[in-house]
A and B are shown apart, each in its own frame.
Chain A
């Protein structure tokens, strides 16, 4: 379905200040439906933060290089800075703020608690992205998905430290809390 009138290059140009195409979308964010009308250029990250008021995903580089904007999108870890909100109408998004299930102790997901236990952060800016990425990564490994450092592509995955480091390479921590992050994920992986 095309929501916006087709672009007619020979007629009125849409590329003027007066004409900013907008579109209605619905996002399910941390269990709540949000109906938003967004400028078609809005990234999913800006839609979450500026429009839906969910500041859990962070804008680090805004170019897909740091991972701080990571959420779970339809159950998989996903950047939100390299995504246009209009392309994700109907998506189910879980941010770090919505990871904990009801009744989980202290309203923390076990991976979040592990980050605290292992000092997996200093300033905390990358942490929501790290946590979402870790949850997604553990699910991928649980499904048997191999990584770049997996020696045998057809064998079961064992989450060694080398595997964890490789699988988390899309999340940078400029404080350098990697040792704690590794420890937190190692514990979360049941090692």
Chain B
């Protein structure tokens, strides 16, 4: 590990000033990703500016919804009564991520800014355009199970690993950012970027800009939200694909409003706007959901290693919406053995590994 100095400024403004004025400085939050990258040599800052103890750690009800301080730990946010009732999909996304210990440590802002788990990005002995621009992409013809299928480029097929970010994207969160020039608000959908020719650029934030809070609007849709994550083992693994979904119905059983976002498919959380449009005003039965998913995948590029994500997205999206439909019908969230219950067309289409 490269030698580094450590500073813990007393205010967010001082932290922003320290990092924005020094290309070698980086913010340190909970450290669950960055400290690992220091060990691996993926990240080599000369100075860490610790923001993890700044008092940006409250969840506050606002007129429009809820404001979440960047230092609120993932476990505390998931368990917060406001989130559990008003934004259950956000709670569920957090609970599907990492482990109990890591959720106690990881912060809200840090979760959004965690880096891809592409094995080549994390292995400094291999070419990676994200880690070392121009060196090439090892994942294109290497281990590709976790590769992106939407919005990727020849330079990079990495996926964004956050579960929280997927739920926040579906529910129209806004990220509050403090920079040297003051505060600005970034819609969650605009926070992360697609790789294009510059996969080393991952967000629309400038060096030294600090996420200080995340705001979520309170909506009837958000109250009817959930999160389904598929993975290679039952727990404590990154998503193969994941789905954040929210749904309200009209009296005739057709979709009044819907929000869908996918994880594990792109360099950023993927808001499935075409699928949403295809389901709005329709009965959300299995054929309609399958067609909407297929429509969203019009521009997708599958490789042999990622072809499995097509049926998995169909199944996971169906499972997420079925879970919500079960809930809307008054059926409990799940059956006693934990399987999704109350689905319109049987449970066979959705298979969430636990």
Which residues of A are interface residues toward B (Cβ below 8 A)? Answer: 1-7, 9, 13-16, 19-21, 23, 39-41, 43, 62-64, 67, 70, 76-79, 81-84, 86-87, 133, 136-137, 140, 143-154, 162, 165-171
- Other than the given A15-B3, A40-B6, 9 more pairs (CB < 8 A) read A2-B7, A7-B47, A14-B4, A21-B4, A76-B104, A87-B31, A148-B92, A165-B235, A170-B101
The answer to whether B235 and A77 touch across the interface, beta carbons within 8 angstroms, is no
Among all A-B residue pairs, the 5 with the closest Cβ atoms: A170-B99, A169-B235, A145-B79, A169-B236, A153-B84
The answer to whether A41 and B1 touch across the interface, beta carbons within 8 angstroms, is yes
Q: Which of B4, B23, B100 has the most CB of A within 10 A?
A: B100
B291 at the interface (CB under 8 A from A): no
Q: Which of B23, B46, B78, B234 contacts A15 (CB 8 A)?
A: B46
Measured CA separation A147–B279 after assembly (Å): 30
Kindly report which residue of chain B lies nearest to residue A83, judged by CB atoms: B31
Chain B neighbourhood of A15, CB < 8 A: 2-3, 46
B305 at the interface (CB under 8 A from A): no
Chain B neighbourhood of A20, CB < 8 A: 3
Chain B neighbourhood of A7, CB < 8 A: 5, 22, 24-25, 46-47
The answer to whether B104 and A41 touch across the interface, beta carbons within 8 angstroms, is no
The stretch that binds A, out of B64-72, B152-160, B270-278, B331-339, is B331-339
Whole-angstrom distance from the CB of A181 to the nearest CB of chain B? 14
B88 at the interface (CB under 8 A from A): yes
Q: Which of B24, B92, B105 has the most CB of A within 10 A?
A: B105
B185 at the interface (CB under 8 A from A): no
The answer to whether A1 and B8 touch across the interface, beta carbons within 8 angstroms, is yes
Whole-angstrom distance from the CB of B180 to the nearest CB of chain A? 17
B162 at the interface (CB under 8 A from A): no
Which residues of B are interface residues toward A (Cβ below 8 A)? Answer: 1-10, 18, 22-25, 28, 31-32, 35-36, 38-39, 46-48, 50, 52-53, 75, 78-79, 81, 84-85, 88, 91-92, 95-96, 98-102, 104-105, 234-236, 332-334, 338, 354
The answer to whether A23 and B6 touch across the interface, beta carbons within 8 angstroms, is yes
Whole-angstrom distance from the CB of A6 to the nearest CB of chain B? 7
Chain A neighbourhood of B1, CB < 8 A: 41
The answer to whether B98 and A84 touch across the interface, beta carbons within 8 angstroms, is no
Given contacts A14-B46, A63-B36, contact A21 B101 (CB under 8 A): no
The answer to whether B98 and A41 touch across the interface, beta carbons within 8 angstroms, is no
The answer to whether A84 and B6 touch across the interface, beta carbons within 8 angstroms, is yes
The answer to whether B100 and A133 touch across the interface, beta carbons within 8 angstroms, is yes
The answer to whether B28 and A87 touch across the interface, beta carbons within 8 angstroms, is yes
The answer to whether A21 and B6 touch across the interface, beta carbons within 8 angstroms, is yes
The answer to whether A70 and B101 touch across the interface, beta carbons within 8 angstroms, is yes
The answer to whether A169 and B334 touch across the interface, beta carbons within 8 angstroms, is no
Q: Which of A40, A62, A143 has the most CB of B within 10 A?
A: A40
Measured CA separation A179–B79 after assembly (Å): 28
Measured CA separation A136–B2 after assembly (Å): 33
Chain A neighbourhood of B333, CB < 8 A: 151-152
Chain A neighbourhood of B98, CB < 8 A: 170
Given contacts A15-B2, A15-B3, A82-B31, contact A170 B102 (CB under 8 A): yes
Given contacts A70-B101, A84-B31, A133-B100, contact A148 B9 (CB under 8 A): no
The answer to whether A41 and B9 touch across the interface, beta carbons within 8 angstroms, is no
Whole-angstrom distance from the CB of A78 to the nearest CB of chain B? 6
Chain A neighbourhood of B38, CB < 8 A: 41
The answer to whether A146 and B91 touch across the interface, beta carbons within 8 angstroms, is yes
The answer to whether A64 and B6 touch across the interface, beta carbons within 8 angstroms, is no
Chain B neighbourhood of A1, CB < 8 A: 8, 10
Whole-angstrom distance from the CB of B1 to the nearest CB of chain A? 5
The answer to whether A64 and B102 touch across the interface, beta carbons within 8 angstroms, is yes
Kindly report which residue of chain B lies nearest to residue A40, judged by CB atoms: B6
Kindly report which residue of chain A lies nearest to residue B235, judged by CB atoms: A169
Q: Which of B2, B50, B52, B78 contacts A146 (CB 8 A)?
A: B78
Chain A neighbourhood of B235, CB < 8 A: 148, 165-166, 169
The answer to whether B101 and A133 touch across the interface, beta carbons within 8 angstroms, is yes
The answer to whether B92 and A82 touch across the interface, beta carbons within 8 angstroms, is no
Whole-angstrom distance from the CB of B222 to the nearest CB of chain A? 13
Chain B neighbourhood of A9, CB < 8 A: 22-24, 46
Kindly report which residue of chain B lies nearest to residue A150, judged by CB atoms: B95
14 A-B pairs with C-beta separation under 8 A: A3-B6, A6-B18, A7-B24, A15-B2, A21-B6, A40-B4, A76-B75, A76-B104, A84-B6, A87-B52, A133-B101, A146-B84, A148-B235, A166-B234
Measured CA separation A41–B43 after assembly (Å): 13
Measured CA separation A111–B101 after assembly (Å): 18
The answer to whether B4 and A83 touch across the interface, beta carbons within 8 angstroms, is no
